[in-house]
């Protein structure tokens, strides 16, 4: 689905976006995103909250200014969720805790342990021995 196919009045058409299907959906187009501003809530001291603001309907007389307050942790989580991720990784999650060492393992590269937990190939090999086809 491309931007020109999207009906702003129906941003979640039937048959698409099954996640949070019953939530209220909004469509952010290029005009709206140009009104986004993200900055510190106060004087940018470490630990201060941040504010994400945008105009609800740019160019319309009845538009409102919307402000969303983010704690430093919330801003960090938002950044972690979005930085350097492919669209598939953003939607599906990209790492999990290794069932053997406890560090994060990329799900695309993980091997399932006997308990069906994702593991690093090297952790799996160290714990259970290398399969004949592994050249790790």
Per-residue pLDDT tens digits for 40-59: 888 767 778 888 888 877 77
Alpha-carbon distance of 98 to 6, in angstroms, equals 40
Section 115-130 average pLDDT? 91
Backbone φ and ψ of 133, nearest 5°: -85, -10
Please say if the pLDDT value at position 128 is more than 80. yes
pTM of the predicted structure, to 2 decimals = 0.46
The sign of the torsion formed by the CA atoms of 107, 87, 56, 1 equals negative
Helix (H) or strand (E) holding 129: none
Contacts of residue 63, Cβ cutoff 8 Å, sequence gap at least 6: 55, 56, 57
Q: Where are the alpha helices (DSSP H) in the chain?
A: 30-33, 72-82, 87-92, 121-128
- In total, the chain counts a number of residues equal to 136
């Amino acid at each position: 689905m491309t931007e020109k196919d999207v009906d702003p009045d129906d941003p979640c058409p039937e048959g698409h976006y099954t996640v949070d299907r019953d939530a209220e959906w909004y469509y952010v187009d290029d005009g709206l995103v140009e009104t986004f501003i993200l900055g510190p809530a106060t004087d940018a001291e470490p630990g201060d909250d941040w504010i994400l603001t945008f105009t609800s309907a740019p160019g319309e007389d009845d538009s409102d200014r919307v402000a969303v307050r983010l704690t430093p942790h919330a801003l960090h989580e938002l950044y972690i969720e979005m930085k350097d991720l492919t669209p598939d990784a953003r939607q599906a999650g990209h790492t999990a805790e290794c069932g053997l060492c406890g560090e994060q393992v990329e799900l695309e590269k993980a091997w399932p342990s006997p308990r069906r937990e994702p593991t690093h190939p090297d952790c799996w090999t160290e714990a259970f021995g290398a399969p004949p086809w592994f050249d790790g």
